[in-house]
Amino acid sequence: MKIGITYNLRHEISADKGPTDLYEEFDCEETIQAIAKELGEMGHEVIKLGWGKEFLQGILSEKCDLVFNIAEGMGGRSREAQVPAVLEMLGIPYTFSDAQTLSICMDKGLTKRMVSTIGVKTPKFFVATTVSDVRRHRLGFPLFVKPALEGSSKGIRLHSKVNNRTELERQVAWLLKEYGPQPVLVEEFIRGREVTVGVLGNEKPFVLGIMEIKGKSQGDEFVYSLEMKRNWMEEVEYVCPAGLDDFTSERVARDALKVFKLLGCRDAARFDFRIDSMGQPHFLEVNPLAGLSPVYSDLTIMAIKSGYDYPWLIRTIVDLAVERNGIKTGSVNFASA
């Protein structure tokens, strides 16, 4: 097959203004090279399409059988849907979720409202568009404050957990200034363990693994912040399997699969939860376009700690997309857990 790769590179844009993590969601060249290498070793012809005008010109000139899409896009809450929408218009199949799912999942408040309708517990929350909005809330401290329309821990710092109204107003004001005009999500902070769940598949999705993300010095107050992610080798321990008891593991896996199906996720996605002292999972957010760095992305680490490797992960994502789209390439041989 001829497979195109769509992506945004971090070094393509200079962050002359704005927060230091303005382009945190974008991929590094090493990730694109790693994906291209695995696709090439699978016997496919690989075309690097990029994003924006480069992508538009390339997709019109190249006859791609499939697009391996990891483009984050730029703009508002529908930015991750930009490339999929074009591909759908042209009738070109691609990996991962469709434009609608990607748009919904980027909006954390909307996603939480939808998830709560199917019996999956999520921390109580509200969405603020001004600092004055926080003065009317009825949630109990501590609270957690983050941008409502971001991913990759953008806008999440060690001071995102607030313990009183003064800290809350200060954090909301900072986020509105740095990341506005997008709203701010304020939710109850769940003391306990932080886990992430990888799900692969389509009609019959399965849990790849449940991984606990532990701060080496923070205990149940751990915040998986930008500072922690950028210094993950020193600050973070990844434990997979997570070491939960069987009952709690089953509850987390069940909730992740329910949300995967509700939101219409495809091929692969990752779900973040906090587990409270009673073993109750609390859904935080979903990443339907999870990072695929061969070194530091959570889904990759989870796959490796679950007994697989990076080539298996890339091959499985492609095989799932091929099967889902009915592409005729010979036998499809994806592995299930």
Q: What DSSP assignment string belongs to 266-332? A: -EEEEEEEEE-TTS-EEEEEEETT----TTT-HHHHHHHHTT--HHHHHHHHHHHHHHHHT--SS--
Which residue bears the tokens 């699978």?
Answer: 42
Amino acid at 40: G
- Are residues 305 and 199 part of one domain? yes
Q: Which two three-digit tokens encode residue 103?
A: 């748009």
Domain end, chosen from 128, 162, 188, is at 188
Q: What digits encode the pLDDT tens for the residues 203-224? A: 999 999 999 999 887 777 888 8
- pLDDT on residue 240: 97
**Range 174-191 average pLDDT:** 94
Residue 143 CA, chain-centre distance (Å), reads: 22
Residue 232 C-beta-side C-alpha neighbours within 13 Å:
14
- Are residues 217 and 183 part of one domain? no
Residue 333 pLDDT > 50: no
Give the residue numbers spanning the domain of 301: 193-325
- Are residues 256 and 201 part of one domain? yes
Amino acid at 195: V
Cα separations in angstroms, 204 against 126, 260, 265, 328, 330: 34, 11, 12, 21, 21
Per the structure, how many domains does the chain have? Answer: 3
Q: Which two three-digit tokens encode residue 220?
A: 């149940």
- Are residues 234 and 171 part of one domain? no
- Are residues 151 and 274 part of one domain? no
**Range 42-66 average pLDDT:** 97
Report the predicted TM-score, pTM, of the whole model to 2 decimal places.
0.93
**Range 225-250 average pLDDT:** 89
Domain end, chosen from 68, 96, 124, is at 96
Domain membership of residue 120 (yes or no) is: no
Residue 270 pLDDT > 50: yes
**Range 257-267 average pLDDT:** 98
- Yes or no: say if 56 and 73 are a contact pair by the CB < 8 Å rule: no
Domain membership of residue 90 (yes or no) is: yes
